[in-house]
């Protein structure tokens, strides 16, 4: 039985989609069967960052509304045979989708995949609520600044209401930022009341890999690629020492 993980943040642009592709591709490279579901309806981007935009013909709403079976809607990443994507629709559906249909879909997903990542849109609107209804666990992606940390609190409250255990990933860390900001990672954990799943350094290769449609792990083993790999190992229950930020 697989595990589904909702990736959320509150504020937009903190690195949810990068985290999803980064960690999912590491797990797939380790031989786990992994599905990413793009829940950012109308603003999809995982098809591009996974390099499968041309093959993303059906989407998650086609499956939720019974127009297409799951197996036909998923697209495989060409260079990582264990990694698949269930794309988001290119346009926003006119009405919110049924949470029960999402729960039913996730039951099927857990049977076929070891891990499923639900990449949320920014904010805590209907896309977030739908994604959360299919999740066993959550990762809240924040940046090391008080603004994104406060915005993440709204998502954390909702996850608590839904009784979904959550962990924190702090993204885009540099030594300089850690030195200059009053907030540090301990403060972020305290404010949000979440245990840490990992820290991810600022790394220009994250943006480069996404724009080339090629998961970072295929070209890099240091920086953010290493951080995603460490987090993937922690999701598998392995103990990995904290990463040093250079
Ligand atoms: N560790 C990192 N180092 C450098 N750039 C990063 C890092 N993580 C993410 N980025 C860049 O930040 C931008 C936003 O990242 P991403 O799209 O993953 O965020 P998001 O939370 O999914 O955004 P949205 O809320 O709009 O869905 C992208 O250009 C991405 O390449
Ligand atoms: Mg995103």
Scanning the chain, the segments in alpha helix (DSSP H) are 16-29, 46-49, 60-64, 70-73, 99-112, 126-132, 146-161, 175-180, 185-192, 204-212, 224-235
In a domain, 45, yes or no: yes
Among 8, 143, 206, say which to mutate for ligand 1: greatest number of ligand atoms within 8 Å of CB.
206
Q: Which residues contact 239 (CB under 8 A, 6 or more apart)?
A: none
The answer, yes or no, to whether any atom of ligand 1 lies below 6 A from the CB of 202, is yes
The closest of 245, 197, 198 to 222, measured between CA atoms, is 245
Cα distances from 2 to residues 33, 85, 135, in angstroms, run 9, 16, 11
Q: What is the pLDDT of residues 29-39, one digit of tens each?
A: 999 999 999 99
Among 10, 18, 23, 230, say which to mutate for ligand 1: greatest number of ligand atoms within 8 Å of CB.
18
The protein residue whose alpha carbon is closest to atom 10 in ligand 1 is 15
In a domain, 243, yes or no: no
Rounded distance from Cα 209 to ligand 2 centre (Å): 15
The answer, yes or no, to whether any atom of ligand 1 lies below 6 A from the CB of 9, is yes
Q: Which CATH number do you get for residue 30?
A: 3.40.50.300
**Distance in angstroms (rounded) separating the CA atoms of residues 29 and 123:** 31
In this predicted structure, the answer to whether residue 243 has a pLDDT above a threshold of 90 is no
**Distance in angstroms (rounded) separating the CA atoms of residues 146 and 143:** 8
Rounded distance from Cα 56 to ligand 2 centre (Å): 17
pLDDT given at position 9: 95
**For 216-236, what is the mean pLDDT?**
96
In a domain, 179, yes or no: yes
Rounded distance from Cα 40 to ligand 2 centre (Å): 7
Can you give the residue range of the structural domain that contains 45? 3-118+129-235
Spatial contact of 78 and 215, defined as CB atoms under 8 Å apart: no
At 152, list the tokens. 């993440």
Spatial contact of 22 and 128, defined as CB atoms under 8 Å apart: no
Rounded distance from Cα 104 to ligand 1 centre (Å): 30
% of residues, the chain, pLDDT over 90: 81
Q: What is the pLDDT of residues 34-91, one digit of tens each?
A: 999 999 999 999 999 999 999 999 999 999 999 999 999 999 999 999 999 999 999 9
In a domain, 65, yes or no: yes
Number of domains in the chain: 1
Atom of ligand 1 nearest to the CA of 211: 31
**Distance in angstroms (rounded) separating the CA atoms of residues 171 and 168:** 10
The answer, yes or no, to whether any atom of ligand 1 lies below 6 A from the CB of 220, is no
In this predicted structure, the answer to whether residue 96 has a pLDDT above a threshold of 90 is no
In a domain, 99, yes or no: yes
In this predicted structure, the answer to whether residue 119 has a pLDDT above a threshold of 80 is yes
Q: Is the dihedral of CA 74, 38, 77, 116 positive or negative?
A: negative
In a domain, 241, yes or no: no
Give the phi and the psi of residue 168 in degrees, each rounded to 5. Answer: -105, 135
**Distance in angstroms (rounded) separating the CA atoms of residues 229 and 161:** 30
Among 17, 40, 200, say which to mutate for ligand 1: greatest number of ligand atoms within 8 Å of CB.
17
In a domain, 150, yes or no: yes
**Distance in angstroms (rounded) separating the CA atoms of residues 44 and 9:** 16
Mean pLDDT of the chain: 93
In a domain, 31, yes or no: yes
% of residues, the chain, pLDDT over 70: 99
What is the DSSP annotation of 144-164? SSHHHHHHHHHHHHHHHHTT-
């Amino acid at each position: 039985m697989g595990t589904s993980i909702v990736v959320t943040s509150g504020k937009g642009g903190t690195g949810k989609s990068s985290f999803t592709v980064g960690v999912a591709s590491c797990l797939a490279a380790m031989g786990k069967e992994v599905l990413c579901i793009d829940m950012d309806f109308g603003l999809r981007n995982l098809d591009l960052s996974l390099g499968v935009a041309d093959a993303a013909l059906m989407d998650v709403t086609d499956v939720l509304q019974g127009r297409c079976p799951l197996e036909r809607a998923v697209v495989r990443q060409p260079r990582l045979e264990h990694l698949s994507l269930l794309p988001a629709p290119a346009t926003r559906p006119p009405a919110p989708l049924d949470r029960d249909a999402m729960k039913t879909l996730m039951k099927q997903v857990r049977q076929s995949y070891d891990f499923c990542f639900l990449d949320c849109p920014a904010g805590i609107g209907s896309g977030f609520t739908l994604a959360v209804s299919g999740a066993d666990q959550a990762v809240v992606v924040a940046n090391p600044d008080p603004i994104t940390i406060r915005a993440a609190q709204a998502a954390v409250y909702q996850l608590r209401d839904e009784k979904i255990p959550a962990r924190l990933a702090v993204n885009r860390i540099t030594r300089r930022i850690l030195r200059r900001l009053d907030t540090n990672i301990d403060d972020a954990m305290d404010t949000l009341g979440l245990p840490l799943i990992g820290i991810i350094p600022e790394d220009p290769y994250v943006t480069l890999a996404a724009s080339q449609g090629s998961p970072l792990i295929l070209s890099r083993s240091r920086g953010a690629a290493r951080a995603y790999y460490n987090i993937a190992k922690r999701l598998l229950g392995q103990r990995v020492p904290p990463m040093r930020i250079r």
